[in-house]
Amino acid sequence: MSKKNTAIGLVLVFLGISMYLRNYNIGTGSLLTLFLGLGLFYAYYIKKEQPFAIFGGIFTAIGLMYVLHDIRLFRIDMTFETLLIVLGIIFMFIFYSKHAQGFVFPGMILPAIGIYLILLRTFNDKYTASSIFLLLGFAFYAIYFIAYMGSSGWPLIPATIFLLTGILAYAFSFKVITWNMVYMSRGYLWPSMMILAGVLILMNLRKRRS
């Protein structure tokens, strides 16, 4: 019952502060992000678990930045794409400083998505729509070389799949390859794909044994 009352009290306090600060053009989303970060810091203070401190710092910094932006003390045009790239850089910093292997994934994948969104907004869809596969492929190759080279080769599998998918998508987009050509060469295409898949699996097994 006490936890329920605490939650209700916190929600009411947040709503009251939000309504009050709307007079100063501070958005609810900015405050929510800031309070989420502060809440994670409080969780870290109680439980002493590092992820709470990491994500608390991220959300607090973002929330504070937006609050300052709302009250025009700090003007910055932070788009969602830029935010993804910044978060990726933060995750990579954590990866290198704390040697936490799991952080390399958002550290590489989030900037790839951010760059894709920037390209999509800047250029024609014909030239950028399929670039997400190439970017994700490069991201997984980077993950392999940064964190897994010499220990495991599994990131090479999604990396190669994404890269080949991107190349094929661009080939279809620019009509270098057509569905009629695929149908005509089906007797060679599927065996080639099976051979490639087998080679990737064997490479992964060899890496594990070594």
pLDDT, one tens digit per residue, over 60-113 is 777 777 777 776 655 555 567 777 888 888 888 878 877 777 888 888 999 999
Angle at 85 between CA 82 and CA 90, to 5 degrees: 125
d(C-alpha 113, C-alpha 88), whole Å: 10
Q: Taking residues 121-134, what's their average pLDDT?
A: 80
d(C-alpha 42, C-alpha 59), whole Å: 13
Q: Taking residues 194-202, what's their average pLDDT?
A: 73
Give the domain ranges of the chain.
1-77, 99-177, 180-209
pLDDT of 128 over the 90 cut: no
d(C-alpha 115, C-alpha 135), whole Å: 8
Residue 174 Cα distances to 24, 44, 62, 83, 177, angstroms: 52, 52, 40, 32, 8
Q: Taking residues 108-131, what's their average pLDDT?
A: 83
**pLDDT at res. 59:** 77
pLDDT of 189 over the 80 cut: no
Residue with the bigger pLDDT between 167 and 6: it is: 167
Picking from 79, 105, 78, the residue whose alpha carbon sits closest to that of residue 92 is: 105
d(C-alpha 135, C-alpha 113), whole Å: 8
**Extended beta strands in the chain, E state:** none
Q: What type of residue is 67?
A: V
**pLDDT at res. 208:** 60
pLDDT, one tens digit per residue, over 13-64 is 766 776 666 666 677 777 777 778 778 777 877 887 767 777 777 777 777 7
